[in-house]
Structure 1
């Protein structure tokens, strides 16, 4: 097959594999560490031991995700030097330094204080430990800032120009604050937080659904729900802002997202394609359900009809995105999941207001708990779908409008790239199975409620009811002795 002898296609596939796999882990860790800051802060404020035990339990899943995220992130960045050397040489003046900021600012801050956060519970003052947790959270989210800054600059390059094949920076801050930067960072920050909230809520719902310590996990569930009340609708709004930016700066990508082949002339609002079967060869949709004037209302084009909404045929085939079906349905998966999570949040909030999430009633809400369990992995799918739209929709450019992807790849033997691609596939498959095993093991065992609390004598001895599950011993003191 032509694919196996095409160095550029193999390098793109390898980067896609490593990026998609890597993204699974920081998505959870950058959001979950904010939750750890919240529950540890609640413990310091209230001295309620449940919050302490929550911090200890959820930090195990955080550490697992952090470790795999580091292990998979480094090989991904190395590919800029191995598989994409011409690109790195051309844009290293800016792109390389921003990636360096991510390592020196974000990763080093995380690494410096992670040991205290993990092993310092009974070794340092609780305030020192809490500050360490906060600094780990800052470091984790600084990674989001710098990675999204670099990627946004690839989408809307600013602050310089290409001279003799190299990008020369003339305004560093303008390059950092490129047009996509603020909305992209906000969109990704909210995505990591929303994904983490529904994972925490989904795991908590699993315990409640199975009647395992429902009172204990109802606290985690309600914290996740309370945060989701703000995050879920805000994410939809920021996503809308991102769509407006795509319309303005990358109209070819918008046309691919909507599988819109024909240009809608000025003065006429565009229809919104709800579902379609794009036919890239025929340059049309074989089948389509659309909402009249829908796209015009969504992007507020009704207010300004002076400009046409361009269709894909406005660009030559070599200058527009390919894989239209993938872009089209990835976008709809992302949007559909966003609205589903917001709807689930709304329904759950109504249950809360009606008193159905009280300690006595929450375990009875079986269908609601099942819905949260079902929702737990959906955030991952939405994030991965969003990155597919973002990066595949940018093609054929690696630096939008300035450097083509085909010109940015290293001239390597296809057999070498195929070997490394298959090697990554095998190793990452093993890592994925390992993470599922250890993650499920942590969840099956549940929290340890017999751990000593710093500065507090143990007043709630724990008994092991099932292998690995400890609950407070509520028997009379005579029976305990």
Structure 2
């Protein structure tokens, strides 16, 4: 029954499916690892147990998300050898070492300190445990660094030499390969997106619990921190996105033409199309609704600047416009929504109503998963916009696939769909269950006996401590575990 399917299309669908599932988890764990480091650092600096409670609350969630990210990443990488063996052969001398650096640096760094971070708070000193948390956070960033360097090189390949057998070989300078023209923009844009994704998840959880109990100090703290991140980072992300777009315009003009829906060139200023139905067959945007000359202003900062269209690109070199056009608009719309929530929270904060405006809390709750949608839409824009090339302008996707029959690819795709939905649905359900439980004092490692105080990670609360209050413990109360003390 699979003979009628195209093996290349099935291979592309399979890779898109697995990479979309995979990136959901790094997009969360990159930001959450840094958030955990901030929480632990604030606890060590201030002695406020609310930060420790939130650290332990989100640590459980991080552990599960991190594990699912690792598992899905391993599965995804095997497809380079199964479905894309030609690409692996010709590009392996360049991308192979870069991916090996990711394992040797980021993965080993994370694996080396993850156990200490998860289980070592009562077994090592506070400083060493904080150092382990910082190393895990650094490891997530280093991982993003190398993976984005690989992908950016595929978008804007530089620093290579072509061998007689058609292989891409590294040139005299690896720096030129690693720091290819699009890499700095894409690294900042992606990592910032991860921070925003995490901020809106944390904000949504805080909002959920504030809607049930506005006096919950832990919910107040996490919601406040998340809204600060939204208010400060969302404008930065929009600015970085603009720079990234200008860089893409320089190196991948066909992608930007597809993003803008510009089938035709505009010599006197191009409109920005808010809505339209791209039609690749007729090479026009049906039902177009645009703002005159705004696209020229965005792309070249001049309302009258000429903008080339897809009529300057050969038909066989054009990307599928429909997916790129709408994925880009979804990403931009969510970015503007994040900015709106951030500004709204600033208004509420200045009026002393940050924890009282239920409508703001409901909006933040609705926006909770928005970061995941935005990063997937961004990757669709990036990867589909690069088509029909695997290595932009040099190696076509049709020439990169393994010589497999459609039934073989379809069978593995079906297996991935079944297993991924079964396994990751359970994992996601458990994450949501953890988030639905309100954070409380002494979040992890709680030992409640019939007598005696509660002890958590070396903290002995005083007898007058109120469970609902945000506490500030003096340094003399913080019991050190270092050196057997």
TM (norm. structure 2) is 0.91
Q: Deviations over 1:5-40 (max 9, x none)?
A: 321111111000000111111110000111101111
Q: Within 2, Cα distance between the matches of 1:473 and 1:383?
A: 35
State the secondary structure of the residue aligned to 1:23: helix
Aligned twin of 2:103: 103
Would you say the 8 A contact 2:254–2:319 is kept in 1? yes
Q: Aligned match of 1:341 in 316, 338, 342?
A: 338
Q: Deviations over 1:317-374 (max 9, x none)?
A: 211102x1111010000011001101110011111011112xxxx1x31111000001
Q: CA deviation at 1:447?
A: 2.8
Aligned twin of 1:214: 216
State the secondary structure of the residue aligned to 1:67: helix
Would you say the 8 A contact 2:293–2:304 is kept in 1? no
Q: CA deviation at 1:461?
A: 9.0
Q: CA deviation at 1:78?
A: 1.2
Aligned twin of 2:251: 249
Q: Aligned match of 2:315 in 314, 317, 334?
A: 317
Q: Aligned match of 1:368 in 353, 360, 367?
A: 360
Q: Within 2, Cα distance between the matches of 1:257 and 1:444?
A: 38
Would you say the 8 A contact 1:7–1:414 is kept in 2? yes
Which deviates further from its counterpart, 130-139 or 58-67? 58-67
Q: CA deviation at 1:472?
A: 7.4
Q: Within 2, Cα distance between the matches of 1:431 and 1:213?
A: 37
Q: Residues 471 and 3 of structure 1: is their aligned pair in 2 closer, same or farther, counting only changes over 3 Å?
A: farther
> Is 1:299 paired with 2:299?
yes
State the secondary structure of the residue aligned to 2:302: helix
Aligned twin of 2:22: 22
State the secondary structure of the residue aligned to 1:299: helix
Q: CA deviation at 1:313?
A: 2.1
Would you say the 8 A contact 1:449–1:462 is kept in 2? no
Q: CA deviation at 1:301?
A: 4.4
Q: Residues 473 and 462 of structure 1: is their aligned pair in 2 closer, same or farther, counting only changes over 3 Å?
A: farther
Q: Within 2, Cα distance between the matches of 1:179 and 1:7?
A: 33
Q: Within 2, Cα distance between the matches of 1:188 and 1:227?
A: 16
Aligned twin of 1:467: none
Could you tell me which runs of 5 or more consecutive residues in structure 1 were left unpaired when the two chains were aligned.
464-469, 475-481
Count of residues paired in the alignment: 458
Greater RCO (Cα-Cα under 8 Å, separation 6 or more): 2
> Is 1:410 paired with 2:379?
no
Q: Within 1, Cα distance between the matches of 2:369 and 2:220?
A: 20
Q: CA deviation at 1:251?
A: 0.9
Would you say the 8 A contact 1:334–1:385 is kept in 2? yes
Aligned twin of 2:477: none
Matches within 5 A, 1:353-432: 353-357=350-354, 362=355, 364-432=356-424
Matches within 5 A, 1:43-442: 43-164=43-164, 165-170=166-171, 171-211=173-213, 214-265=216-267, 268-302=268-302, 305=305, 308-322=306-320, 324-357=321-354, 362=355, 364-442=356-434
Q: Deviations over 1:64-111 (max 9, x none)?
A: 110100010011111111111111111111101111111111111111
Aligned twin of 1:478: none
Would you say the 8 A contact 2:269–2:303 is kept in 1? no
Could you tell me which runs of 5 or more consecutive residues in structure 2 were left unpaired when the two chains were aligned.
447-454, 472-485
Aligned twin of 1:479: none
Q: Within 2, Cα distance between the matches of 1:37 and 1:132?
A: 9
Would you say the 8 A contact 1:460–1:472 is kept in 2? no
